[in-house]
Amino acid sequence: MIKQKKNLHPVVERINDILVDLPGPSNISYIWNWGSILGLILVLQLITGLILASHFNSNVDIAFSSVIHIIKDVNYGWILRILHINGASLFFTVIYIHIARGILFSSFKSLFVWSSGTIILFLLIGTAFMGYVLPWGQISFWGATVITNLVSALPYVGSIIVEWLWGGFSVGGAALRRFFIIHFLLPFILTAFIIIHLISLHINGSNNPLGINSNYDKIPFHNYFSLKDSLRLIIFFFVLFYIRLIFPYSIGDPENFNPANPLNTPIHIQPEWYFLFAYAILRSIPNKLGGVVALVLSILIILILPFKLKTIISSKFHVSQKITFWFYTSSFVVLTWIGANPVEHPFELIGQICSFIYFIFLLSI
């Protein structure tokens, strides 16, 4: 018996064909579920962020107090903030795993999908940085000062751009209001790019553990893969709440519980853990402009992968490529650890070695 489709609007029918009825490789494993988990985290961040924004005040005199007000006075405000700040960490954790899976299984062969994903990563980094400044704690203030001041390394126009970003000659009220507006708008732009990324992925078709995109041995996305995704989403949801309710501030910097003080510089200024690898690469270059260029290239470099010689199967089945991948992953982990340590011996030397390994082995994949 042939199943007849309901009379749907052409656009709705097209979306249904792309997102629901599209066949997927039957041999993809659980590691392909990270994309759907990213979708769950995005929805969680949007909901909690909109509620928090309705209670936040971007005035420098009361920004820190408004965060305390959210935690103490707003109904369930404490859990909304915990979910939002830790949701950002989970977002980066999952997206790094998602990218690593794409590199290991040669998913970068689809140029448009990979390029749109890289744009999403840049937008996510911008959104997270702007959000980290908003609580206006010590690390938020000084982190914003250090990171925005990096733009001054650009020849001729750097200082002008920095003053425009600050709205003056230092990070203050104008900068905080701009960061709040940008942080509010970027997630919606991010969502649009994620939809484009998702549609382009389903149009081109997902690859499989063999690293190939074949039209053979495929099964419908719904309900085979959708049910599997739902199960893992439920598991992830419970793990998220367990960790966040038991260890709510385990990954934050204690210094950020103090209000911003322009006259008191913290001993060790560092970004959130998900930026530490890039921060370590920045510090490993003695030249300021060179460090900024290396910082940008540490993320932008993954765009070269689709243009490299395309292998028939995934890197997972090439012994040399697999070793190269794990060297690259190890350098990423070590750089994250180095970024949380002071710029002194032996951390400085280790950071320089790992930065070299990071770029060389990624180019070798």
* Strands, E assignment, 10-131: 23-25
Q: Which of 66, 109, 197, 272 is catalytic?
A: 272
Task: Check if 61 is active-site.
Answer: no
Q: Tell me how many degrees the CA angle 67-72-78 measures, rounded to the nearest 5.
A: 75
Q: Is 344 one of the catalytic residues?
A: no
Record the tokens describing residue 363, joined without a space.
Answer: 């180019």
Q: Which of 206, 284, 298, 331 is catalytic?
A: 206
Instruction: Choose the catalytic residue: 218, 222, 228, 288.
Output: 228
Give the integer Cα–Cα distance in Å for 172 and 232: 43
* Cα–Cα distance, 124 to 121 (Å, whole number): 5
Are 25 and 206 contacting, i.e. CB atoms less than 8 angstroms apart? yes
Annotated catalytic, 84? no
228 is catalytic: yes
Hunting for tokens 């070798």 — which residue is that? Answer: 364
List the catalytic residue out of 202, 298, 315, 355: 202
Catalytic residue among 110, 229, 253, 315: 229
Residue 44 identity (one-letter amino acid): L
**Closest Cα partner for 67 from 56, 58, 54?**
56
**229 given a catalytic annotation:** yes
- CB-neighbour burial class of residue 15 (10 A; exposed 0-12, middle 13-18, buried 19+): middle
Give the DSSP letter string of 185-215.
HHHHHHHHHHHHHHHHHHHH----TTS---S
Q: How far apart are CA 303 and CA 132, in angstroms?
A: 27
Active site residues: 202, 206, 228-229, 272
